[in-house]
Amino acid sequence: MTDRKGNCRLQQQQKTIARCADQARAVDYFNVLTGPELLEITEAHLPAHRERLYPPTVALSMFINQVLDADGSCQAAVNRWAAQRMVEGLNPRSIATGGYCRARQRLPLALIKTLACETGRLLCAQSDQGWQWRGRKVKLVDGTGLSMPDTALNQERYPQPASQGEGVGFPHARMVGVTCLSTGAILAAELGTHAGKGQGELGLLRRLEGIFERGDVVLADALYCSYFLLAELHVLGVDVVFAQHGSRHTDFRCGERLGVRDHLVDWTKPARPTWMTAAEYAAVPATLTVREAKVGGRVLVTTLLEPGDVPKNELKAVYAQRWQVELDIRNIKTTLGMDVLRCQTPDMVEKEVWVYLLAYNLIRLLMAQAAWESGLQPREVSFKHSLQLWVEWQRVGYGRHTCESYAALFFLIAQRKVGNRPGRIEPRACKRRPKSSKWLKEPREQARQRMRDHRCVL
């Protein structure tokens, strides 16, 4: 009986996909990238090139597959491409990686970056009305750190933290990203060094122009609860829900009382920060009316001022969704493997980051399509399950799939839903102990020389 119901449901999915084939929202990589919305962007950024073994579209497709695969080496990417050419009856040519590496270097960063941002924007803009909060788009903001190979060029662009000894540390970059709450898509990101003027998370966020639109709601932790950020977003017609910064004292006896531990209060403009010009500072209003409400043991700061429209319990519920950005970062860094980058030069590091973000958005496209077809929320679909299915589906089919097979793929993706674990608390600690290898506390060449001199093991 269960099998019969499953077959009927699969047949219904296939009919739906067949009927909507011309407007399917998620298909093969370059069916997405060369669709009507993105074709113009792709063509505008493609460089002039000769007929090569690795033309730009092939190189980008291989790069995307490379970051999605568990073995992210260039050799594995070239081997897959050679095997695919053999299956298609073509000459596999050489399996040396030099040609592919040079093709990756020729890829314009603007092409990858624009495709990643535009893919996220289209997915967020076309999200189902039922996926939004009170009919409004909610955007999440957070930052994270990235490590990369210890090369001289990487160290020059992204210096290692001062706490690491010279020759034994790794270059470290900071990234701030904006994601869509309803779909999980990355909308924009900015990369900088881990320290220095204007390199903090707020400084990187200020570089992202045009990412917030009138009517949006922004969720972020206490680090972003800045007077100047609130004032800037207020001018744009954007509402916020932030946790109160620890340096600000909240006194519910002041201001206009709205309820228990809930009031309106006027914030006064602080002194001009060093990064702001005098003209910019003068344009900021002298006071700013915000709502402060204590819910769930924390004080929330918001520009949603009317308790009749947004009660305290709804503020608590929507701020609880801020944790989704932590899960998005985990999916990018841990599930996809962007935690430790592979490229040896800063220019290629930046390309690698944006290829990861593009690949992440493409998986989110598949998840949104599967959710839409199955009547689910995209956040209910497992990212890792979708990634595993897509990688295997690509490996066995090499893109020669029918509309019915896409229906089956979306049906399989929608079968695995993430668990509902409200209020989950987990320690940030590892139970499994690391291996007992000694730590390398000096540059590797010095360690080698000492072993040669003393004929001993490290």
pLDDT in tens, 123-156: 888 888 889 999 899 999 999 999 999 999 999 9
In terms of C-beta density within 10 A (0-12 exposed, 13-18 middle, 19 or more buried), how is residue 81 classed?
Answer: buried
Domain boundary residue, one of 298, 328, 358 = 328
Could you tell me if 374 and 281 lie in one domain? no
Same domain, 58 and 174: no
Q: Do 194 and 240 lie in a common domain?
A: yes
Which domain covers residue 193, as residue numbers? 131-328
By three-state DSSP, how is residue 190 classified? Answer: strand
Strand duo 138-147 + 172-180: pairing: antiparallel
**179 and 269, same domain (yes or no):** yes
How many other CB atoms are there within 10 angstroms of residue 332's CB atom?
A: 25
Q: Are residues 176 and 64 in the same domain?
A: no
Average the pLDDT over 403-431 and give the result: 82
pLDDT tens string 296-316: 889 999 999 999 999 999 999
Residues 311 and 190 reside in one and the same domain: yes
For 244-261, write each residue's pLDDT tens digit: 999 999 999 999 999 999
Helices (H) and strands (E) in the chain, counts: 17, 9
Residue 27 has pLDDT above 80, yes or no: no
Amino acid at 135: G
Q: CA nearest 101: which of 335, 398, 394, 352? A: 352
- Under the phi-then-psi rule, with left for phi > 0, alpha for psi from -120 to 50, and beta for the rest, what region is 297? left
Mean pLDDT of 26-49: 60
CA atoms within 13 A on the CB side of 216: 23
The pLDDT value recorded for residue 167 is: 84
Is the pLDDT score of 457 beyond 60? Answer: no
Residue 434, domain member (yes or no) = no
Identify whether residues 84 and 181 lie together within a single domain: no
**Per the domain annotation, does 341 fall within a domain?**
no
Q: Is residue 456 part of a domain?
A: no
Q: Do both 300 and 171 map to the same domain?
A: yes
**Which of 293, 328, 363 represents a domain boundary (last residue)?**
328
**Radius of gyration from C-alpha coordinates of the chain:** 25
Q: Per the domain annotation, does 33 fall within a domain?
A: yes
Report the amino acid identity of residue 122. Answer: L
Whether 9 shows a pLDDT value over 70: the answer reads no
pLDDT in the model for residue 94:
84
**Same domain (yes/no): 358, 287:** no
Domain count across the chain: 2
Please indicate, yes or no, whether residues 266 and 324 belong to a single structural domain of this protein: yes
Is residue 458 included in any domain, yes or no?
no
Query: Is residue 27 one of the residues assigned to a domain?
Result: yes
Residue 288 has pLDDT above 50, yes or no: yes
Q: Could you tell me if 30 and 39 are in contact, meaning their C-beta atoms sit under 8 angstroms apart?
A: no
336 sits in which H/E element = none
Same domain, 287 and 176: yes
Let me know whether 297 and 197 are in one domain: yes
Residue 454 lies in a domain: no
Give a yes or no: residue 263 inside a domain: yes
What confidence category does residue 420 fall into, taking pLDDT thresholds of 50, 70 and 90?
confident
